[in-house]
C-alpha cells in the first residue's frame, strides 16, 4: 500500500507540474506574464514541499542524494523571481522520480501471490471423521491425513504405511525420499505417493517451513539497501555546483548568475538518463523471460563479483532422468525400457513418470498394462504385451523372482553417487536395470564461462545435497568453491561471508534457497518450476526454465549500466560547461534551463539505446533465442 500511495503521489506531482508549466506558458504568450509567474510559482511549491520532506527523511537515515541539488535550484529560482526556470526544473525532477517509481511498480504487478504454496489448512482426524481445520488449530499429537500431491503442513512422524515425500524444495534432494512408519517428515515436503497419516510433533508456527519463512523475513530486514546509481555522484556534483555558484556571486555581486548556475546544475542527466537506461534494461530483460523487480536490482546485477549457485533445479534439471540402461539375457535397451514404461503407466510416482517420458522421447509404442498393482514404496507388478513384468528397487524385484541380491545385480558396476537404480524383471528373470539421476543442465559449463567473461570473478556451488553427489555434479565446471549439506541458515551465512569480496548474486529455486536469495545483493529464482517462496524472496525471476537466461540477464544489466554511466558522464560534463558559461554571465536562468533541456534530450536519446540491446549470450546460445519470448517489438542492437 505504501508503494501505491507513493506512486500515485509522484504521478499527481508530475501532472500538476506539467500542467502548471504549460498553463503558465499559455498565459505568458498572451501577454499575461504576472499571472504566468503566479501559476509557475504555485506549480513548483507542492513539488518542493514533498522534495524537502524526502530530504529530511533521508537525512534521518544518514542518506544523501541528488534531491538536495534539485531542491536548492528550485528554491533559489523561486527566491529570485525566476519562476519559469523553477517550473522547468520541477517538471524534469518529477518526471525522473516518476519514471523510477513506474519501473518498480510494473515489476511488482508481475508477481501474483507467490507465497500461495504455503498451506493454510490441514485435514484432521477428529471423532472418526475427517475435518478441514486452519493450521493454527493443529496441536502436537493430532493425527492428519496427507493426501497425494498435498504439502505436509507441520513437522510430524509417519503414522501409517509407507510415504514418498518430495523434499527437493527443502533439502535439494532431487529424488523423493521413502519413509516408513515412525520416520520424521518435514513440513513443506510434497506427498508424491499414496495418502498417509501423520502425527503432528510441532505447532505450525514452530515447524520447518515456518522457520524458513522467518529466515526470509530476517534476511530481508538485514539486507543492505541498494543505493541509486545517481546518488553515488551526488556529493561531488553538489560540491562543484556550490563552488561555481558561490564564485559567480562573490566575484560579480549578481545573485542571478548564481541562480543561473544552479538551474543549469540541476542534475537532470542523472535524474532522467539513469532511470531511462535502467527501465529500458528492465523492459529488454522481460523480452527474454527475465523479470527484474526494479531498477536497483538491475544496476546491482551489472556489478556482481561473486555468483552462488544452488544445485538441484538450478545447475541440474531437478527431475530424475535415465542416464543409462543395463540389459541382461540378450534383451535390447529399447525392449527393457518399453516393457518397464508400459507397466509404469499405471503409477504416478515421479520415477515411474520419468521412465514413461523417456520411452515416449525415444518414440517407443507403449502397450496398456494389465492386472497392474503398485506396492507403495517398492514397485509395480503386472502384465505388458503378454509378459509378467516387475519394476522397482533391486531388493523388491529380487524377492519377487525368488533370487538373492547378488544374483540380481550380477556383474554390473555400482551406480554413481546420487543416482537411483530401477530393476526390471520379465517372466520371472532379471532383464536389466535403469540407472536414473538428476543430470547437469545442458550447456551449464558454457554458461559459467560466459559469466566469467561478463566480469563475475568467483563462482560457488551451494547445495543441501550430499557431498559425494555435489562433487560428482561439479566435476569439470571449474568452480572456485563447493559447499554441500547446507541448511537454509548456513546458506545465508555463506552469502554474508562471500559479501566481503564484493556484490553477491545467489541463484536457486527451492524453499530452502529463499532466505539466501533474500540476503544476497541480488537473488535470482528459477520461477518457471521453482517454489513460490523463492520467487517472492528474489530480486530477479527467470520466467523461462532455462539457466542460460541468467547469462542474458547479466549481460543486459552490465550493458544497461554502462549506457547509463555514459549518459551520466556526458550529461555532467555538459552541465559543468553550462555552469561555467552561466557563471561568466553568458546564460540567464531561463536560457540555462533551456540549455539543460537540450542536454536532457541528448542523454535520454543515448539512454534509449538500451532498448536495442541484443545479448551476445542469446546469439551464442541460439540465434532464434535472440527473439523476444514475452512479446514486444523485438528491436535489437548488434554491437
SS3 string of 205-227?
HHCHHHHHHHHHHHHHHHCCCCC
Check pLDDT > 80 for residue 333: yes
Model confidence at 506, pLDDT cuts 50, 70, 90, reads: very high
Model confidence at 387, pLDDT cuts 50, 70, 90, reads: very high
Top-confidence range, 427-436, 466-475, 570-579? 427-436
What's the mean pLDDT when you consider all of the chain?
78
Give the CATH H-level superfamily of domain 321-437: Calcium-transporting ATPase, cytoplasmic domain N (3.40.1110.10)
Model confidence at 167, pLDDT cuts 50, 70, 90, reads: confident
pLDDT for the residue numbered 267: 62
Quote the cell numbers at residue 112: 501474483
The rounded distance, in Å, linking the Cα atoms of 395 and 270 is 69
Check pLDDT > 70 for residue 558: yes
pLDDT for the residue numbered 109: 46
More confident residue, 261 or 629: 261
Check pLDDT > 80 for residue 150: yes
The rounded distance, in Å, linking the Cα atoms of 189 and 289 is 28
Q: Residues 87, 267: contact at Cβ < 8 Å? A: no
What is the mean predicted confidence (pLDDT) over 285-297? 79
Residues of the chain with CATH 3.40.1110.10: 321-437
> Closest by alpha carbon to 615, among 274, 273, 304, 281?
281
**Marked catalytic residue, from 155, 310, 513, 546:** 310
Dump pLDDT digits (tens) for 102-127: 655 544 443 333 344 456 788 889 88
Residues of the chain with CATH 2.70.150.10: 121-213
pLDDT for the residue numbered 416: 55
Q: pLDDT > 70: what percent of the chain?
A: 79
pLDDT for the residue numbered 638: 34
pLDDT for the residue numbered 456: 92
The rounded distance, in Å, linking the Cα atoms of 401 and 446 is 46
Dump pLDDT digits (tens) for 32-65: 878 998 999 999 999 899 888 888 887 777 666 6
**Close Cβ partners of 23 (under 8 Å, ≥ 6 residues apart):** 39, 43
Quote the cell numbers at residue 521: 545483493
pLDDT for the residue numbered 495: 92
How many other C-beta atoms are found inside a 10 Å radius of the C-beta of residue 604?
Answer: 18
Q: Which of 63-72, 435-444, 548-557, 600-609 has the lowest mean pLDDT?
A: 63-72
pLDDT for the residue numbered 618: 61
Burial pattern 249-282, b for ≥16 Cβ within 10 A else e, equals beeeeeebbbbbbbbbbbbbbbbbbbbbbbbbbb
CATH fold for the domain made of 121-213: 2.70.150
Give the CATH H-level superfamily of domain 298-317+441-548: HAD superfamily/HAD-like (3.40.50.1000)
Residues of the chain with CATH 3.40.50.1000: 298-317+441-548
- Using DSSP's 3-state secondary structure scheme, residue 176 falls into coil
Known catalytic residue: 310?
yes
Amino acid at each position: 500500500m505504501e508503494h501505491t500511495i507513493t506512486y500515485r503521489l509522484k504521478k499527481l506531482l508530475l501532472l500538476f507540474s506539467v500542467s502548471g508549466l504549460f498553463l503558465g506558458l499559455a498565459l505568458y504568450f498572451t501577454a499575461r506574464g504576472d499571472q504566468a509567474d503566479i501559476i509557475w510559482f504555485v506549480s513548483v511549491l507542492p513539488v518542493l514541499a514533498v522534495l524537502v520532506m524526502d530530504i529530511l527523511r533521508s537525512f534521518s537515515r544518514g542518506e544523501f542524494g541528488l534531491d538536495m541539488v534539485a531542491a536548492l535550484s528550485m528554491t533559489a529560482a523561486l527566491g529570485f523571481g525566476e519562476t519559469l526556470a523553477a517550473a522547468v526544473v520541477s517538471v524534469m525532477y518529477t518526471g525522473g522520480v516518476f519514471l523510477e517509481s513506474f519501473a518498480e511498480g510494473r515489476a511488482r504487478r508481475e508477481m501474483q501471490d507467490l507465497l500461495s504454496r504455503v498451506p493454510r489448512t490441514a485435514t484432521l482426524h477428529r471423532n472418526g471423521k475427517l475435518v478441514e481445520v486452519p493450521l493454527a488449530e493443529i496441536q502436537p499429537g493430532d493425527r492428519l491425513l496427507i493426501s497425494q500431491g498435498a504439502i505436509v503442513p507441520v513437522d510430524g512422524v509417519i503414522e501409517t504405511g509407507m510415504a514418498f515425500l518430495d523434499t527437493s524444495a527443502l533439502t535439494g534432494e532431487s529424488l523423493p525420499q521413502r519413509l516408513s512408519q515412525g520416520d520424521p517428515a518435514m513440513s513443506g515436503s510434497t506427498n508424491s505417493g499414496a495418502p498417509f497419516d501423520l502425527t503432528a510433533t510441532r505447532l505450525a508456527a514452530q515447524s520447518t517451513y515456518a522457520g524458513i519463512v522467518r529466515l526470509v523475513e530476517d534476511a530481508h530486514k538485514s539486507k543492505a539497501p541498494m543505493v541509486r546509481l545517481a546518488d553515488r555522484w551526488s556529493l561531488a556534483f553538489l560540491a562543484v555546483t556550490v563552488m561555481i555558484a558561490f564564485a559567480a556571486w562573490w566575484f560579480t555581486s549578481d545573485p542571478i548568475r548564481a541562480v543561473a548556475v544552479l538551474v543549469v546544475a540541476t542534475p537532470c542527466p542523472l535524474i532522467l538518463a539513469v532511470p531511462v537506461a535502467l527501465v529500458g534494461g528492465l523492459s529488454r530483460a522481460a523480452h527474454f523471460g527475465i523479470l527484474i523487480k526494479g531498477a536497483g536490482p538491475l544496476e546491482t546485477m551489472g556489478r556482481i563479483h561473486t555468483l552462488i549457485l544452488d544445485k538441484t533445479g538450478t545447475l541440474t534439471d531437478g527431475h530424475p532422468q535415465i542416464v543409462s540402461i543395463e540389459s541382461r539375457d540378450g534383451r535390447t535397451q529399447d525392449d527393457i525400457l518399453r516393457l518397464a514404461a508400459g507397466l509404469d503407466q499405471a503409477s504416478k510416482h515421479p520415477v515411474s513418470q520419468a521412465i514413461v517420458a523417456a520411452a515416449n522421447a525415444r518414440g517407443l509404442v507403449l502397450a496398456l498394462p494389465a492386472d497392474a498393482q503398485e506396492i507403495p514404496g517398492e514397485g509395480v507388478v503386472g502384465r505388458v504385451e503378454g509378459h509378467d513384468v516387475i519394476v522397482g528397487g533391486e531388493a523388491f524385484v529380487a524377492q519377487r523372482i525368488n533370487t538373492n541380491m547378488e544374483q540380481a545385480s550380477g556383474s554390473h558396476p555400482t551406480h554413481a553417487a546420487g543416482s537411483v537404480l530401477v530393476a526390471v524383471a520379465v517372466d520371472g528373470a532379471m532383464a536389466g536395470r535403469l540407472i536414473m539421476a538428476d543430470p547437469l543442465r545442458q550447456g551449464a559449463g558454457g554458461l559459467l564461462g560466459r559469466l566469467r567473461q561478463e566480469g563475475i570473478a568467483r563462482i560457488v556451488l551451494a547445495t543441501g545435497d550430499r557431498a559425494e553427489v555435489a562433487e560428482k555434479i561439479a566435476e569439470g565446471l571449474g568452480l572456485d568453491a563447493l559447499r554441500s549439506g547446507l541448511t537454509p541458515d548456513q546458506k545465508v551465512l555463506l552469502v554474508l561471508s562471500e559479501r566481503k569480496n564484493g556484490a553477491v548474486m545467489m541463484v536457486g529455486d527451492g524453499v530452502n534457497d529463499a532466505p539466501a536469495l533474500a540476503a544476497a545483493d541480488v537473488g535470482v529464482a528459477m520461477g518457471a518450476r521453482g517454489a513460490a517462496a523463492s520467487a517472492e524472496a528474489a530480486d530477479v525471476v527467470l520466467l523461462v526454465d532455462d539457466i542460460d537466461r541468467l547469462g542474458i540477464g547479466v549481460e543486459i544489466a552490465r550493458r544497461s549500466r554502462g549506457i547509463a554511466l555514459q549518459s551520466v558522464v556526458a550529461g555532467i560534463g555538459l552541465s559543468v560547461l553550462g555552469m561555467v558559461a552561466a557563471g561568466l554571465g553568458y546564460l540567464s536562468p531561463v536560457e540555462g534551463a533551456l540549455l539543460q533541456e537540450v542536454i536532457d534530450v541528448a542523454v535520454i536519446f543515448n539512454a534509449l539505446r538500451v532498448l536495442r540491446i541484443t545479448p551476445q549470450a542469446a546469439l551464442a546460445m541460439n540465434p532464434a533465442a535472440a527473439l523476444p519470448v514475452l512479446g514486444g517489438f523485438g528491436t535489437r542492437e548488434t554491437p
